[in-house]
Amino acid sequence: MRYAPPVTVDRISRSRNVRKSPLNRKRPNLKALLFLFLTSAVLSGGVSFALQTPMLLVREVRIEGVRLTDRAEVQRAAKSALGCNIIALRTGPIAGAIRRLPEVASVRLARSFPGRISVRVRERKPEAVVSNHTACCMVQADCLAFHRTHGPVRGLPTVQVVRCGRVREGEKCPSADVANALDVLKCARKYELSVAKISVDPLGDMCLNMGSGFYVKLGQPDDIAQKMSVLRTALTYRPSLAREAAYIDLSCPSAPVWKPKSASGSAS
């Protein structure tokens, strides 16, 4: 006859403890679920209303900053926004179409609720008007041509270059003579010298027209900073030089010479 092993007190207590341990179940937060449902319903309804209501359709397009750019081209690109929902409107394609115009440096579109779009255009800054005897075009400091003109423009110096080649809007002038002339203009502004026109002959020699019939022969485009410094010094110590001289020759900056306007005068 077999006897079962006795059950100890420790085993009985452990088994009782296991049976009596309650299950840790979280009750759902009904208030939070209700709040989340109501919030989602309100947001979805609001978005649906905003995208469908005629109150938020674009009815006006305002264009700012256009002086040189063809306004009709800008208006044609911006008018595609009319009748569109102001919230869902994609401004990227409109800005891209306007930015492709050669005169435009940058463009920004702003929404004004309930139904107005503002197009702010920033145009390129002209440094001079380049002429190759067949066409005239505004250029910026990096030689990029961007706006064709019918001739010289008041307030801008003219750069007349024989070896200029074809000037195309939206492209840089390939001639090194144009780049050299623009460097001269930059240096002239540094020394506060007014230049009305720069002429570059087929050999690359440059001549400045300072206005009032006063010319400066610079010769080849080397030692430009030194030549402009000598010119600034000469005009500072003798301001009447611009009235008395027909020209000053700075081809050799260490030995400048000038010719008086009077026929009887001699070079000094």
What integer pLDDT is reported at residue 268 of this predicted model?
Answer: 41
* Cβ-contact 176, 135 below 8 angstroms: no
Q: Where do the domains of the chain lie?
A: 54-123, 128-260
Is 150:189 a contact under the CB 8 Å cutoff? no
Confidence of residue 163 (pLDDT cuts 50, 70, 90): confident
Q: Name the token pair of 117.
A: 């779009």
Helices assigned H by DSSP within the chain:
9-20, 30-52, 71-78, 91-99, 176-190, 224-237, 241-244
Report the pLDDT value the prediction gives residue 267, as an integer from 0 to 100: 42
Model-level pTM?
0.77
pLDDT in tens, 166-214: 888 999 998 999 999 999 999 999 999 999 999 999 999 999 998 878 9
Give the CATH H-level superfamily of domain 54-123.
membrane protein fhac (3.10.20.310)
Residue 264's pLDDT band, with cuts at 50, 70 and 90, is: very low
Q: Reply yes or no on domain 128-260 having CATH 3.40.50.11690.
A: yes
Q: Are 124 and 140 in contact (CB under 8 A)?
A: yes
- Residue 43 pLDDT more than 60? yes
pLDDT, tens digit, 9 for 90 and up, residues 84-137: 999 889 999 999 999 999 999 999 999 998 999 999 999 999 999 999 878 899
